[in-house]
Structure 1
């Protein structure tokens, strides 16, 4: 008899709202079309309550199909002063209709994008060490100056 591995589940863990600045467009480099979006601050709520600190960034690669490879790294401080390092990697891919809207200079709706990331957390604080032993998957939304996502713990 073959023993099957358990099917993972998802449990909502925390919500993130990140304020972002204007992207710096580096053009096409040896790694592809590179853009860097500064992180200006924000907040985390839910299981984890913290302030996102200014100074992080999202080092993006823009794909030929208009999609964006996300590599965001930023810090947060809890209400008790504990520091956390968050790393979100993923994809934001426009639907064909969204790509056409963007080409016209219009802002497509959030339902016209596939926006998913993995989120990992580092901390030296024992109280939050359980976050280092979990994998989080997030579903995101991008507004003009804000990125919002809900992180789900994978069981």
Structure 2
């Protein structure tokens, strides 16, 4: 018996970011902080506005470990907290990944996240009870696009 999870497109986050701040260097490591200053969320599961937060990153060699935390205000006024962890690194063997006409990864890069949502708003409870995977890509110098898929 083979068990394969299904992925359902839930929403897309377009997070606007400000200039990255250098925090420091360790032994073979670079630590940085990128402010998240706004953006939008749109999709069948959830719509709203990205409020504020930031993304802490640690880069070792070519692998960048990401941990973003920010707030989203849903269109109904509820506030949702998101902690989004993931990795970004070159992956020369991987071809472009497409979802319809939207390119969701840059050619030759692995950029994936695993978010956790928190809110006590009943209308958005399923966000807090579902496993998601995010496929991310930069869109210019000041926007990161993350397409969130619910794992079924």
Q: TM (normalized to structure 1)?
A: 0.82
* Structure 1 residue ranges without an equivalent (≥5): 97-108
| Residue from 47, 50, 68 that aligns with 1:49 | 47
Please state which structure has a larger fraction of its residues in strand: 2
> Which of the two has higher C-alpha Rg?
1
Spell out the pairing of 1:84-95 with structure 2 (5 A cutoff).
84-95=80-91
- The equivalent of 2:11 in structure 1 is 14
Q: TM (normalized to structure 2)?
A: 0.84
- Runs (4+) of structure 1 moved beyond 4 Å? none
Q: 1-side partners of 2:13 and 2:28: how far apart?
A: 29
What is the number of equivalent residue pairs in this alignment?
A: 139
Does 1:35 find its partner at 2:1? no
Quote the RMSD (CA, aligned, Å). Answer: 2.1
Deviation at 1:87, TM superposition (A): 1.2
* Structure 2 residue ranges without an equivalent (≥5): 93-104
Matched position secondary structure for 1:110: coil
Q: 2-side partners of 1:35 and 1:152: how far apart?
A: 27
Please state which structure has a larger fraction of its residues in helix: 1
Q: 2-side partners of 1:121 and 1:31: how far apart?
A: 32
Spell out the pairing of 1:70-85 with structure 2 (5 A cutoff).
70-85=66-81
Does 1:148 find its partner at 2:145? yes
